[in-house]
């Protein structure tokens, strides 16, 4: 658990809701939320788009990755901003996908 999540827990703030999303779909999440990417078959990777990297580790994030740590939204992102990432196994692999940071 990160220091931010530990601090929120001690201060009585609820943890951010986890997000499960299709690998090829834009989504919204709170800072610190755990992210689960769905419908990944075969070999795939998530790489950096044209913005700051939005996840807690990587890039890249390889799949399958049985040893991969949990993926969280990075703690230093700005609410309301949109961050890009590229998923190699989507039909539009060269197009970035987006996560919008919500309050």
Is 38 within the bounds of a domain?
Answer: yes
82 in Cβ contact with 96 (< 8 Å)? no
Is 74 within the bounds of a domain?
Answer: yes
Is 7 within the bounds of a domain?
Answer: no
Is 42 within the bounds of a domain?
Answer: yes
Which pLDDT score is estimated for 65? Answer: 81
Per-residue confidence band for 78, with pLDDT thresholds at 50, 70 and 90:
very high
Which pLDDT score is estimated for 11? Answer: 66
Return the closest-CA partner of residue 65 out of 45, 81, 85, 84.
45
Q: Residue 5 phi/psi, 5° resolution?
A: -70, -40
For residue 85, the enclosing domain spans 16-101
Please give the average per-residue pLDDT across 2-26, as a whole number.
75
Which pLDDT score is estimated for 10? Answer: 53
Is 93 within the bounds of a domain?
Answer: yes
Please give the average per-residue pLDDT across 46-65, as a whole number.
94
Return the closest-CA partner of residue 17 out of 103, 89, 81.
103
Q: For the CA atoms of 4, 35, 71, 45, what is the dihedral angle to 10 degrees? A: -150
User: Taking the model in full, what pTM does it have?
Assistant: 0.84
pLDDT digits (tens, 9 = 90+) for 60-70: 999 988 788 89
Is 30 within the bounds of a domain?
Answer: yes
pLDDT digits (tens, 9 = 90+) for 35-47: 999 988 889 999 9
Is 3 within the bounds of a domain?
Answer: no
The yes-or-no verdict on residue 87 having pLDDT over 80 is yes
CA 81 to each of CA 14, 78, 91, 100: distance values in angstroms, whole numbers, following the listed order: 22, 6, 25, 6
Is 91 within the bounds of a domain?
Answer: yes
d(CA 26, CA 97): 6
Query: What is the domain count for the chain?
Result: 1
């Amino acid at each position: 658990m990160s220091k931010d999540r530990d601090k929120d827990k001690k201060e009585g703030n609820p943890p951010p809701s986890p997000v499960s999303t299709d690998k090829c779909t834009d989504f919204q999440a709170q800072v610190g939320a755990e992210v689960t990417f769905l419908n990944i078959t075969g070999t795939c990777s998530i790489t950096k788009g044209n913005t700051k990297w939005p996840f807690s580790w990587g890039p890249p994030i390889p799949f399958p990755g049985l040893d991969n740590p949990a993926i969280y939204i990075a703690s230093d992102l700005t609410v309301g901003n949109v961050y890009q990432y590229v998923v190699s196994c989507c039909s539009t692999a060269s197009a970035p996908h987006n996560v919008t940071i919500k309050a």
